[in-house]
């Protein structure tokens, strides 16, 4: 008790202003410095900007006009971020997959500001999904899609190629995939130009590809006859359906082998689409250190930007040179085909899908296509 009184007497000898300063130095929040923010859009030329943000300045301006109203603040209080800087921050994050603190240092803003900007911009871009990601709905669009796929490897009636890819995230155990890390299992459908025509980005990494497809709206459209003609191509991880064809596990005859070769060459579009998508936006490959609820809009936003960039004819991100040389050598070694001006249009574009029914309906459809289309396939080869 006497010791406490002694301490009080000593403290009473210290001037009040010194005590106040000591309190401020220990507890008060230091003032936040107002820094001059970076302006990469104005400071970099178009080549440098494209290299760092994966979109040209022209595409960035076009994108900004579509989402600017969603990014504007009601006032300029507290030195609010302009919409262009918010967009640039998000693009830099997609293009690097780095820590948000790194993006904050590059743009001279606070880390929490970067976090808010990324998620705000991602939701704004994802809202454009209906404009840039759409599966062919009417007959003219479906026929054009079939013609484009037929030009790849002469496989008839293809509307798209489907597959799933894992995008690393930080999450709970249910998101651990078969490879051992946490991820989202994202399903996409690719067209012949490597654009995404359908995307499902809500499933945890432990979900099987078949589960995702069986619960997607695209399958329901095929099942209910809203898409009366054509089919998708998938790998053997999917169950075969009249509208989803998979390769034969043990092809025996020459027509069956031709079917598998053409199926593989055509289905390769979805694999290439994933490669370009992830090369353009490495955050999808390196992983995103955000909550699941925030990761989903980022995935859809990058899919929108992928289609936007391909539609604008922008350069594909750099690829492995040796891999490209190997693929070019493989393409040059394939047999050449006559251009299909002599092939009837109903061969390239079957107008209606045969109503195969029963538990083997998918197998019946595949057998019918092999019988009707691949027995005469060799007649298209140009004899050297």
Strand, helix or coil at 299?
A: helix
Each residue's pLDDT tens digit in the chain (384 positions)? 444 444 444 445 556 667 666 766 766 666 666 567 888 999 999 989 998 999 999 999 999 999 999 999 887 777 789 999 999 999 999 998 888 888 888 888 889 999 999 999 999 999 999 999 999 989 999 999 999 999 999 899 999 999 999 999 987 788 999 989 999 999 999 999 999 999 999 999 999 999 999 999 999 999 999 999 899 999 999 999 999 999 999 999 988 999 999 999 999 999 999 999 999 999 999 889 899 999 999 999 999 999 999 999 998 776 545 545 654 665 565 444 443 445 555 556 554 555 555 667 888 888 888 888 887 654 554 444
Count the neighbouring beta carbons within 10 Å of the beta carbon of residue 384: 5
Predicted structure pTM score? 0.83
Tell me: the pLDDT tens digits for 218-273?
999 999 999 998 999 999 999 999 999 999 999 999 889 999 999 999 999 999 99
Dist. CA 60–CA 308, nearest whole Å: 10
| Residue 284 CA, distance from chain mean position | 8
Dist. CA 371–CA 258, nearest whole Å: 11
| Rounded (10°) angle between helices 111-126 and 57-71 | 100
Residue closest to 52 by CA, chosen among 89, 83, 95, 90? 95
- Residue 254 tokens read as 């020459």
Phi and psi angles of residue 224, each rounded to the nearest 5 degrees, phi first: -90, 0
Count the neighbouring beta carbons within 10 Å of the beta carbon of residue 314: 16
- pLDDT, position 332: 62
What residues does each domain of the chain span?
A: 40-127, 133-380
Dist. CA 79–CA 64, nearest whole Å: 20
């Amino acid at each position: 008790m006497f010791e406490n009184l002694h301490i009080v007497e000593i403290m009473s000898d210290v001037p009040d202003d010194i005590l106040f300063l000591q309190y401020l130095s220990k507890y008060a929040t230091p003032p936040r410095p107002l820094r001059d923010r970076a302006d990469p859009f104005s400071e970099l030329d178009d080549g440098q900007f494209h290299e760092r943000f994966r979109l040209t300045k022209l595409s960035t301006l076009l994108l900004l006009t579509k989402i600017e109203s969603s990014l504007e603040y009601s006032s300029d209080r507290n030195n609010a971020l302009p919409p262009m800087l918010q967009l640039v921050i998000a693009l830099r994050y997609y293009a690097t997959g780095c820590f948000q603190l790194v993006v904050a240092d590059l743009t001279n803003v606070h880390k929490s500001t970067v976090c808010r900007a990324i998620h705000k911009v991602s939701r704004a871009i994802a809202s454009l999904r209906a404009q840039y990601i759409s599966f062919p709905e009417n007959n003219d669009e479906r026929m054009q899609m079939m013609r484009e796929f037929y030009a790849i490897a002469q496989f008839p009636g293809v509307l798209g190629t489907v597959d799933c890819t894992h995008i690393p995230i930080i999450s709970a155990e249910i998101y651990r995939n078969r490879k051992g890390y946490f991820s989202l299992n994202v399903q996409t459908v690719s067209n012949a130009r490597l654009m995404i025509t359908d995307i499902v980005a809500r499933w945890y990494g432990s979900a099987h590809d078949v589960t995702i497809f069986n619960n997607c709206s695209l399958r329901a459209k095929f099942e209910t006859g809203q898409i009366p003609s054509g089919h998708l191509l998938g790998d053997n991880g999917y169950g075969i359906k009249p509208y989803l064809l998979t390769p034969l596990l043990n092809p025996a005859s020459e027509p069956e082998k031709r079917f598998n070769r053409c199926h593989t060459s055509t289905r390769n579009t979805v694999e290439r689409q994933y490669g370009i998508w992830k090369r353009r936006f490495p955050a999808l490959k390196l992983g995103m250190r955000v909550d699941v609820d925030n990761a989903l809009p980022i995935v859809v936003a990058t899919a929108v930007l992928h289609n936007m960039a391909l539609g604008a004819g922008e350069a594909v991100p750099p690829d492995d040179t040796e891999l490209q040389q190997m693929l070019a050598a493989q393409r040059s070694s394939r047999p050449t085909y006559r251009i299909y001006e002599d092939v009837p249009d109903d061969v390239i574009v079957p107008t209606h899908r045969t109503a195969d029914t029963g538990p083997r309906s998918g197998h019946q459809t595949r057998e019918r296509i092999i019988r009707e289309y691949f027995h005469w396939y060799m007649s298209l080869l140009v004899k050297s």
